[in-house]
Chain A
Amino acid sequence: MGAINSKQERRFQRFWMGFFIVITFIAMIPILRVLAVSLSGKNAIIAGKVFILPVDFNVEAYVKSLQSGSFVNAFWYSILLMLGSTVLNLVMTVLAAYPLSKPNLKGGKLVMALFVLTMYLHPGVIPEYLNVKDFKMIDTVWALVIPGALSAYNMIIMCNAFKGIDSAIYDAAKIDGCSEAKTLTRVVLPLVYPTLATLGLFYAVGRWNGISDVLYYINSSKLFTVQMVLKQFVESVNVSVEEGIQTNLVAENIKAASIVISMLPMLIVYPFVQKFFTRGIMVGAVKG
């Protein structure tokens, strides 16, 4: 659009390219800072010499964080929890979305309306807590898996993906004598693979990053997720520094290393899944 080579246009393009490069760089500073501190020597940090590049480069902080049994255990436990609950989430989502995507299913509209209503009516933290308590799930891993087993919002996205499949495909499967279950697993699911992957990632990120249910429902430290252990690390420094007490329970660089390790799963997966997520947002945006 426009005069590609006009002098004014070139100046405009150059200015805004520069602007966005600067903005993006500024947005990355917080992450660079944490990386720098995690890889710097203790004395350089205390002397205030570290900005966004490591000084006295060393990986001692990582070695020390990985020697902390509670942190490493929480890390692997959180990975397992994330994988397990994501599988459950996806199974539940598909089980609900597939029947509800059938326009002729009797009672389907009512069930759908009931699911939609749950997006707007929240019972609140305490009634939910008492409910989890009724099921004797307090301080068990189930409290972190079952209450959030299905998101109505994601289920609607899945449902729309099923509805988007050409009805000729359903007819063909029926003529070939496929049962509904077989149609779903053999024919339909491979077709909605991108949506399935997107929702799986939404669920996985939510579980990895979630902390409120751990705070609400879990007391024993062996069931703490990596976020919860990290919170304890971060706060042990935070309060003491802010109150002017010099005894940091966890050194700054170890804290930074723990933050980086907790970000790692997201940072590693992000470049690959970013496209899926963008698509996921657009699915939601189009739905409005």
Chain B
Amino acid sequence: MEKDGKKSKVGIYLRNNWQLYLMLLVPVVYMILFKYKPMLGVVVAFKKFNVFKGIWSSPWIGLANFKEAFSSKDFWSALKNTIILNIGDLIIGFPIPIFLAVFLNELRSERIRKTTQTLLYLPNFLSWVIIAGIVTQLFNSSGLVNNIIGAFGGEPVSFLSNSFIWRFVYWIMGVWQGAGYSLIVYLAALMAADASLGEAAYIDGATRLQRIWHVTLPQISSTITVLLIMQVGRLVNISFDRPYLMGNTLVKDASDVISTYVYSVGLAAGRFDFATAVGLFQTVVGIILVLVANWTIKKMGQEGIL
């Protein structure tokens, strides 16, 4: 080893670090087999998939699956619903935690601040199966809301079988589940902000609302912008659990989204190639939107997410 300087350097390096490489071995093998190998599987989107032939021996059919998707009414309806539900989340769900954080931050009572945070964050730990179960307990014909309507002598409202109303239930439960998380993110940003600015504004005679508007909000505006643009970047992406579990057959025209469409045509009906094409379309549009969003954040002088 000592004869060849370069070789001995590598040898010493490996002798000192082989344990580190050994540790990395399992995660890297995992990453290749379960993250990168399935990425090759997206070629199914361009094939006529035959279960017996497998991915690689199935015949190529070019863009036929995509053409079929773009001429399918169900596909456009799923895409439309995905965007509608996401835009609703944006309009209803996005401002609420900001509002809560700003005023909670003004409260002096540590106890109320802590309790509010703790309890509002709790629903974040419940699964969508549980939340869907809770939804029926609240909104079905014998649910709490209809109990209350009944107690005042009103007629029961079918919240869960009317597509228009169902969307609001979907959005409201999204706020219930997710607002606590965003609240903590904003409160963390506010805590990191410089309190002396607010004090200076107070001494200068600013009213509370002026202080909130001109000092507090600008202090978290970068957090707000980044979260907002990230959410816009995810406009065509939608989780599977929430729409799938909250939806039902009567509101299909509002609750069928891309993720549930891929599941029903792909796994339930067995059209792997077609469903892969739909999923790939979503992924590609999603990546483009995220890149545009990231570019926008950087243009605005903030640190991007990528």
Using CB atoms and an 8 Å cutoff, list the residues of chain A in contact with chain B.
Answer: 1-2, 4, 12-13, 16-17, 19-21, 23-24, 27-31, 33-34, 37, 45-46, 48, 50-52, 92, 95-96, 98-100, 102, 105-106, 111, 114-115, 118, 120-131, 135, 146-147, 149-150, 155, 179-181, 184, 205, 208-212, 215-216, 227-228, 230-231, 233-234, 237-239, 241-243, 252, 255-256, 258-259, 262-263, 266-267, 270-271, 274, 277-278, 281-282, 285, 288
Contacts and interface: CB of A to CB of B under 8 A. Distances in A.
A238 B140 contact: yes
Chain A's interface: helix, strand, loop or mixed, by majority?
helix
How many B residues are at the interface, by size bracket? 35 or more
Contacts of A228: 129
Contact of A124 (B34, B121, B283): B283
21 contacts: A1-B202, A27-B176, A33-B134, A34-B133, A34-B137, A95-B27, A98-B20, A125-B262, A127-B38, A135-B33, A149-B34, A155-B27, A180-B19, A212-B241, A215-B263, A231-B129, A242-B248, A252-B137, A255-B133, A266-B126, A267-B122
A52 B136 CA distance: 15
B248 A238 contact: yes
Nearest to B132: A234
Nearest to A282: B188
A153 to B, nearest CB: 12
A30 B127 contact: no
Contact of A241 (B141, B279, B282): B141
A12 B212 CA distance: 14
Interface of B: 13, 17, 19-21, 23-24, 26-28, 30-31, 33-42, 44, 55, 100, 103-104, 106-109, 112, 115-123, 125-130, 132-134, 136-138, 140-142, 144, 146-148, 150-151, 158, 160-161, 176, 181, 184-185, 188-189, 195, 198-199, 202, 208, 223, 226, 240-241, 244-245, 248-250, 259, 262-263, 266-267, 272, 275-276, 279-280, 282-283, 287, 290, 303, 305-306
Contact of B130 (A125, A150, A262, A281): A262
Given A239-B249, A285-B189, A48 B147 contact: yes
